[in-house]
Amino acid sequence: MQIQSKLPNVGTTIFTVMSQLAMKHQAVNLGQGFPDFEGPEALRVALNRYMHEGKNQYAPMTGVPRLREQIALKTAALYGRPVNADSEVTVTSGATEALYAAIAAIVRAGDEVIVLDPCYDSYEPAIELNGGKAVHVELTLPDFSVDWQRVHDACTSKTRAIIVNSPHNPSGAVFSRADLDALAEIARRHDLIVISDEVYEHIVFDGVDHQSVLRHPELAERSFVISSFGKTYHCTGWKIGYCVAPAALSAEFRKVHQYLTFCTFNPAQWALADVLEQMPEHYRELPAFYQDKRDQFRAMLAGTRFKLLPVAGAYFQIVDYSDISDQDDRAFCEWLCAEKGVAAIPVSAFYQRAPEARLIRFCFAKNDVTLQAAATRLQGL
Contacts for 294 with CB less than 8 Å, ≥ 6 apart: 205, 311, 315, 317, 364
Per the structure, the complete domain to which residue 224 belongs is given by 54-278
Number of structural domains in the chain: 2
Check if the beta carbon of residue 162 is closer than 8 Å to that of residue 168: no
Say if 9 falls within a structural domain.
no
Q: Are residues 189 and 252 in the same domain?
A: yes
Say if 5 falls within a structural domain.
no
The pTM assigned to this predicted structure is 0.96
Say if 186 falls within a structural domain.
yes
pLDDT of residue 32: 86
Q: Are residues 214 and 168 in the same domain?
A: yes
Task: Provide DSSP, 90-119.
Answer: EEESSHHHHHHHHHHHH--TT-EEEEEES-
Q: Are residues 160 and 226 in the same domain?
A: yes
Shortest CA distance to 127 belongs to which of 103, 105, 106, 151?
A: 103
Q: Of 263, 278, 293, which residue sits at a domain end? A: 278
pLDDT of residue 231: 97
Q: Are residues 333 and 200 in the same domain?
A: no
pLDDT tens-digit profile of 97-131? Answer: 999 999 999 999 999 999 999 999 999 999 999 99
Q: Are residues 272 and 291 in the same domain?
A: no
Task: Classify each residue of 253-284 as buried b or exposed e, where b means 16 or more C-beta atoms within 10 Å of its C-beta.
Answer: bbebbeeebebbbbbbbbbbbbbbeeeeebbe
Q: Are residues 26 and 118 in the same domain?
A: no
Identity at 249, one-letter amino acid code: L
- Which residue positions in the chain have pLDDT lower than 70? none
pLDDT of residue 13: 86
Q: Are residues 187 and 318 in the same domain?
A: no
Say if 3 falls within a structural domain.
no
Say if 7 falls within a structural domain.
no
Shortest CA distance to 318 belongs to which of 304, 306, 308?
A: 308
Check if the beta carbon of residue 95 is closer than 8 Å to that of residue 241: yes
CA pair distance 175, 198, nearest whole angstrom: 11
Say if 270 falls within a structural domain.
yes
Q: Are residues 122 and 244 in the same domain?
A: yes
pLDDT of residue 1: 84
Q: Of 216, 251, 278, which residue sits at a domain end? A: 278
For 110, how many CA atoms within 13 A lie in the half-sphere containing its CB? Answer: 3
CA pair distance 65, 60, nearest whole angstrom: 8
CA pair distance 195, 235, nearest whole angstrom: 24
Say if 49 falls within a structural domain.
no
pLDDT of residue 50: 98
The CATH code of the domain that includes 58 is: 3.40.640.10
Q: Are residues 80 and 139 in the same domain?
A: yes
Q: Are residues 256 and 160 in the same domain?
A: yes
Q: Of 231, 246, 278, which residue sits at a domain end? A: 278
Q: Are residues 206 and 96 in the same domain?
A: yes
Say if 297 falls within a structural domain.
yes
The CATH code of the domain that includes 29 is: 3.90.1150.10
Shortest CA distance to 322 belongs to which of 360, 352, 377, 364?
A: 360
Q: Are residues 84 and 195 in the same domain?
A: yes
